Structure 1
Amino acid sequence: MYKIALFNKVPKNILNLLKKDKYELVLNQTSNVDGIVMRSMDIHNMDFSTRLKAIARSGAGVNNIPVERCAEEGIVVFNAPGANANAVCELTFFGLLISSRKVIDSIDWTRSLNENVVENVEKGKSQFVGPELKGKTLGVIGLGNVGHLVANLGIKLGMEVIGYDPYISVKNALGLSWDVQYTNDINELYKRSDYITLHIPYNDETKNYINKENIEIMKEGVKILNFARTGIINEDDLFNALECGKVGYHVSDLPNEKLINAKNVVCIPHLGGSTHEAEENCAEMAVTELVEYLEKGNISNSVNFPDCSMDRYPESDRIIVLNKNIPNMINTIATVLAKYNVNIMGMVNKSNGEYACNIIDIKGDITEEQIREMESSLGILRVILIK
């Protein structure tokens, strides 16, 4: 029986994937559980039991999870890339509209009218006149699951679209409209864009990605949208640019104390993936990944271990070995199994640079004590036996 901790509400139809004869569900605890399904809770300072094998994040970002620590403890971390992509794409275009037409400001002004509403509306509406999106240039930084949808929708709305992503996947490249202009020069995007929207992860490489230096390259009055992650815009540089009008408007789905009081900024309360469809899609992907790993040892959409899967060899047991990607590991594993008179029937090995995964179907008896002995070998992080 697998024990799964739920750190967020999961739709009832998705919980049905966790069969009652195989899974026990508990709320908000980590002690003695095999897996965690979670969303936005920050668990960096949480202690994990030695029984914990996997964490499934019901969403794309994993900034709230200690990914590297989990890898060192042999805990596979999954996310749900693309499951909420359409929801974020739709909200991004709402952001484009409100940055262009000052819709939020106009609504607030209209609500302040106490008398002669019709007359005052006709007199005052000119202060909210803004440009149409059609014919304007949209710069999309990051052409992943969300970004390529945003770029394609921009084309459909009659915008000129420039995309930049040095790491674009083959799948997303094939899904990109032929009318999207792809550039390898980010400065070209900065110079030409009337609107710039960010769809990149937060990491050491993207910290303060938008800053004083590249804002200076941009058009006067450029609108900048962030529906990605906190930290990729240097906020002090942004505020200075908003104050002098270099940046005409900023729309963020990631509010904080400084942003909500800044000039020409609209903050949305992190609603990018907050649709019923997106939340269900994310939960289904996360739970499916968790089940596939616990029951079969197959890994897909992990952020700390490589994708690795294999069909089960008939009438075999299965061993999952997670290890550091160092020389001679396969030989080490095979030697230990031979020592226990265990025959390898099928095996697949995958690595992602620093870490590796081995799925091994075996015939022959192997005990939990022998499994623990395998784990003591240099470089091996975790060994899991699936009967």
Structure 2
Amino acid sequence: MFKIQTLNKIATCGLDRLPRDNFESATEIVNPDGILVRSADMHKLDLPSSVLAIARAGAGVNNIPLPTCTERGIVVFNTPGANANGVKEMVIAAMLLSSRKLFEGITWAQGLKGQDAIPEQVEKGKAQFVGPEIQGKTLGVIGLGAIGVLVANAASALGMRVLGLDPFISVEAAWRLSHNVIKAPGLDTLVAEADYITIHVPLTADTKNLFNAERIARMKKGARILNFSRSGLVDNAAVKAALASGHLDGYVCDFPEEELLGVPKVLPTPHLGASTPESEDNCAIMAAEQLREYLERGNISNSVNFPTCEMAPTGKTRITVANRNVPNVISSLTSLLGSIGLNIEDMLNKNRGEVAYNIIDVSGDVTPETIAHLKSVEGVIAVRVIPNCN
């Protein structure tokens, strides 16, 4: 029986993917094997030694202590693409909101309550809310992952010219991308040509303040920035200065901060990108299924700290080994297994940066002594045995 701790409310449809005959889930649970989390901050939590995996029902993992997890061999999953459609719809809505000045117009119209001759006032006042259509305009999409691809395709279908930029685009994403999307030769070209720019990249040391004063100055006069990824990607002070000077005509951000509130032409939405029941269900289902597959079969997909490593079960005893990606670990493991008479039926080794992961199916029983010997191999981080893996 695997014990799963839920640190946030997880949609029932996700928990239903964990069969009751093999899984127990609760918010308060002693020595959990796995953790399901959404937004709870785990950095100050004392993770029990029993924890084997953490599944985040969402894309970002800033709330999870990744270095600590990796050092202990705890596999951390996220759910890329599960909320992609919800975010895509928000981005399209953001373009329309900022272009057509819908929020400003609605706010102004609500202020007419109780006044006389409202129809006449509307006809006189509507000119201040004139804004351009998006058809025929150029959208620059930075980052063509699950969300970026959907945004690019939707914008193209709406008649926009779309420039896409992602030097690390996956083969799968490339297959899904509309043939109408133009590959931008570089960031400077995209920035110079786009009427709208939408950002879909993670926040790293390389992308922090990706849009600073210098880069914003290269943008078209009157262009707009849409940020539904992370607040640190855009320099708030630089945006405010560009809006005040008239160089930028709008900034929509899903991450309200004190310095952005009340600033004209800034539309701060309260982190609503994935706030749809469909997104929450999709994330919960995907997170639970990935956690179950790892706990029951040792297979890894969509991990942010370990390599993708999936092998069909053979019905034999399965050994999984997490190790530092250094020479001689594999040879040491196989030699040790051979020396005690365990025949390797199938094996898969994958690495990701400084860590590696192995799935080894063997004939015969794996004793506690064998596990101890495997753990003693230099470079090994964690060892797990799954009997009769099917």
TM range (shorter): over 0.9
How far off its partner does 1:372 sit? 3.4
Residue 258 of structure 1 aligns to a residue in which SS? helix
Which residue of the partner structure matches residue 130 of structure 2? 129
Contact 1:166 1:184 in 2 (8 A): no
Contact 2:57 2:287 in 1 (8 A): yes
CA distance in 1, matches of 2:100, 2:206: 33
CA distance in 2, matches of 1:345, 1:185: 48
Which residue of the partner structure matches residue 370 of structure 2? 370
Alignment of 1:65-84 (within 5 A): 65-84=64-83
Q: In the alignment, is residue 249 of structure 1 matched against residue 250 of structure 2?
A: yes
1:221-256 CA-to-partner distances (Å, cap 9, x unmatched) read 210000111211111211211221111110011112
Residues 74 and 235 (structure 1), Cα distance of their counterparts in 2 relative to 1, 3 Å cut = same
CA distance in 2, matches of 1:378, 1:260: 54
Which residue of the partner structure matches residue 35 of structure 2? 36
Gaps of 5+ in 1: none
Residue 36 of structure 1 aligns to a residue in which SS? strand
| Aligned residue type for 1:336 | L
How far off its partner does 1:377 sit? 2.1
How far off its partner does 1:10 sit? 2.1
RMSD value over aligned CA atoms?
Answer: 1.3
Contact 2:329 2:377 in 1 (8 A): no
Alignment of 1:1-387 (within 5 A): 1-27=1-27, 31-113=30-112, 114-116=114-116, 117-314=118-315, 316-387=316-387
**TM-score normalised by structure 1 residue count:** 0.96
How far off its partner does 1:342 sit? 2.1
| Aligned residue type for 2:201 | I
1:8-29 CA-to-partner distances (Å, cap 9, x unmatched) read 2222232222111211112056
CA distance in 2, matches of 1:340, 1:69: 33
Residue 261 of structure 2 aligns to a residue in which SS? helix
1:289-328 CA-to-partner distances (Å, cap 9, x unmatched) read 00000000000000110110111223x1111101111111
Residues 184 and 375 (structure 1), Cα distance of their counterparts in 2 relative to 1, 3 Å cut = farther
Gaps of 5+ in 2: none
1:191-239 CA-to-partner distances (Å, cap 9, x unmatched) read 1111111111111111111111111110112100001112111112112
Identity over aligned pairs, percent: 48
How far off its partner does 1:358 sit? 0.3
1:115-142 CA-to-partner distances (Å, cap 9, x unmatched) read 1222211111110010000111111111
CA distance in 2, matches of 1:190, 1:71: 37
How far off its partner does 1:152 sit? 1.0
Contact 1:340 1:366 in 2 (8 A): no
Residue 146 of structure 1 aligns to a residue in which SS? helix
How far off its partner does 1:163 sit? 0.9
CA distance in 1, matches of 2:88, 2:48: 38
Residue 231 of structure 2 aligns to a residue in which SS? coil
How far off its partner does 1:335 sit? 2.3
| Aligned residue type for 2:50 | R
How far off its partner does 1:341 sit? 2.7
Contact 2:149 2:177 in 1 (8 A): yes
Residue 232 of structure 2 aligns to a residue in which SS? coil
